[in-house]
Amino acid sequence: MTTKTTSDKVIYPELSYRIIETAFEVFNKLGSGFQEKYYQRAFARKLKLLGIKYEKEKSVNIVYGENSLGKYLLDFIIDHKIAVELKACPKLGYTDVKQILNYLKTGNYKLAVIN
């Protein structure tokens, strides 16, 4: 019987760990109390330094049947496969989790990182 390790269960393990590491590094260097846009700018600069492909404020359509209802703006899409939502708040709540789950669904992504 083969036992799966944690890294076997993580989607895009190397890239997802680099994203989380980058988000923590940005927060640790800036500290708390800034508006979300400043964390996003620093995160984007660090991704660029690392050579990680990303799209910032990616627009994703919300569709009901065949009708477009509007659009979401995702903070980041990394390498066309991972949605990243940065939050500048002391703790995450139900609304934040629902938001990122909707991003996954509407954008047809398999992995999201909320930080």
The three-state DSSP-derived secondary structure of the chain is CCCCCHHHHCCCHHHHHHHHHHHHHHHHHHCCCCCHHHHHHHHHHHHHHHCCCEEEEEEEEEEECCEEEEEEEEEEEECCCEEEECCCCCCCCHHHHHHHHHHHHHHCCCEEEEC
- Is 2 contained in some domain? no
Whole-number percent of the chain with pLDDT over 70? 93
- Is 5 contained in some domain? no
> Structural domain of residue 49, as residue ranges?
12-114
- pTM across the whole model: 0.84
Q: What CATH number should be reported for the domain holding residue 83? A: 3.40.1350
**Where is average pLDDT lowest: 7-11, 14-18, 110-114?**
7-11
- Is 1 contained in some domain? no
Tens of pLDDT along 55-76?
Answer: 999 998 888 888 999 998 899 9
User: How many folded domains does the chain comprise?
Assistant: 1
